[in-house]
C-alpha cells in the first residue's frame, strides 16, 4: 500500500467515525458501522487505530487543531483594524459573524467532542487544558484592543466578562447549528445584535 493510499484510508475511517459518532454517540457506535460507512473491511480499522477509543482521541486532537483557527488573534485583529472607525457594537458584530463561520465549518467535530466530554474524563481534561482557557482569551483580546469608552462601563474583571460573552456566543452557535429551535429562528445578524445589546446594556429599559 502506498503512503498516499494509507493516508487516504485513515482519513476515510476518521471521517466515517465522525459521522457515526455524530449520529449515534460514541458508546452506541460500532466499528462495524464505521467500517461500512468508510467502505473498508472492519479489520482495516485496527491497522490504523488500536481501539474505538483511539479514534475518539484522534477526533479530540483534530478538534484542538481546528480550535486554533477559531481563536486566531491575527484574523480578529484584522477585523478590528479594518473597522476601527466604526462603533464598538458594529465591530463586535463583525467579529462574532466571522467566528460563527469558522465554528460552522468545524461544527461536526465540535458537536461530537462537546457531547462526549460528559462521559470521558480524558477527553474533558484535554479540552480544559487545550481549549477552555483559550475561549476566554478571545473576548479578552477583543475588549483590550477595541477602543472602549471606559467611563461608560463598570470596571469589571475582563476575564469574567470574557467568560460571560463567550458563553452567550457559543450557546447561540450551538442552538442554531443543532437546529433545535424549530421555525421561529431569527436571522443571525439580528440575534447577534440582541446578544451584544444585552451584554452591554442589560434588559432593563433605560
Give the model confidence (pLDDT) of 92-125 as tens digits.
899 999 989 988 988 988 888 889 999 999 989 9
Q: Taking a C-beta distance cutoff of 8 angstroms, is the pair 22, 112 a contact?
A: yes
CA angle in degrees (0–180, nearest 5) for 43-45-48: 120
pLDDT at 183: 60
Q: Please give the DSSP secondary-structure letter assigned to residue 185.
A: P
For residue 149, count other CB atoms closer than 10 A to its CB. Answer: 7
Domain range spanning residue 191?
53-201
Q: How many whole angstroms separate alpha carbon 190 and alpha carbon 206?
A: 20
Q: Is residue 63 part of a domain?
A: yes
Q: Is residue 10 part of a domain?
A: yes
pLDDT at 182: 63
Q: Indicate if 172 and 138 belong to the same structural domain.
A: yes
Q: Which of 50, 71, 87 is the last residue of a domain?
A: 50
Could you tell me which residues come within 8 angstroms of residue 155 by beta carbon, excluding any fewer than 6 positions away? none
Q: Indicate if 38 and 134 belong to the same structural domain.
A: no
Q: How many whole angstroms separate alpha carbon 28 and alpha carbon 21?
A: 8
Q: Indicate if 61 and 163 belong to the same structural domain.
A: yes
The CATH number covering residue 148 comes to 1.10.357.10
Q: Indicate if 37 and 100 belong to the same structural domain.
A: no
The CATH number covering residue 2 comes to 1.10.10.60
Q: Indicate if 10 and 98 belong to the same structural domain.
A: no
Q: Indicate if 164 and 89 belong to the same structural domain.
A: yes
Predicted TM-score (pTM) above 0.95: no
Residues in the chain: 206
Bigger pLDDT: 134 or 107?
A: 107
Split into its structural domains, the chain has a count of: 2
Amino acid at each position: 500500500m502506498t503512503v498516499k493510499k494509507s493516508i487516504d484510508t485513515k482519513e476515510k475511517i476518521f471521517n466515517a467515525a465522525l459521522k457515526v459518532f455524530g449520529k449515534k454517540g460514541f458508546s452506541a457506535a460500532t466499528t462495524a458501522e464505521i467500517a461500512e460507512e468508510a467502505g473498508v473491511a472492519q479489520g482495516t480499522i485496527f491497522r490504523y487505530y488500536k481501539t474505538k477509543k483511539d479514534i475518539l482521541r484522534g477526533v479530540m486532537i483534530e478538534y484542538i487543531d481546528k480550535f486554533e483557527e477559531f481563536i486566531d488573534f491575527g484574523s480578529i485583529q484584522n477585523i478590528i483594524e479594518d473597522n476601527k472607525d466604526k462603533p464598538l457594537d458594529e465591530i463586535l458584530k463583525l467579529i462574532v459573524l466571522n467566528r460563527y463561520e469558522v465554528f460552522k465549518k468545524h461544527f461536526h467535530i465540535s458537536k461530537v467532542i462537546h457531547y462526549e466530554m460528559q462521559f470521558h474524563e480524558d477527553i474533558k481534561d484535554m479540552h480544559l487544558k487545550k481549549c477552555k482557557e483559550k475561549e476566554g482569551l478571545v473576548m479578552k483580546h477583543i475588549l483590550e484592543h477595541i477602543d472602549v469608552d471606559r467611563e461608560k462601563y463598570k470596571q469589571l474583571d475582563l476575564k469574567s466578562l470574557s467568560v460571560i460573552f463567550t458563553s452567550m456566543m457559543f450557546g447561540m452557535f450551538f442552538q442554531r447549528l443543532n437546529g433545535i429551535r424549530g421555525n421561529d429562528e431569527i436571522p443571525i445578524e439580528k440575534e447577534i445584535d440582541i446578544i451584544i445589546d444585552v451584554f452591554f446594556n442589560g434588559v432593563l429599559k433605560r
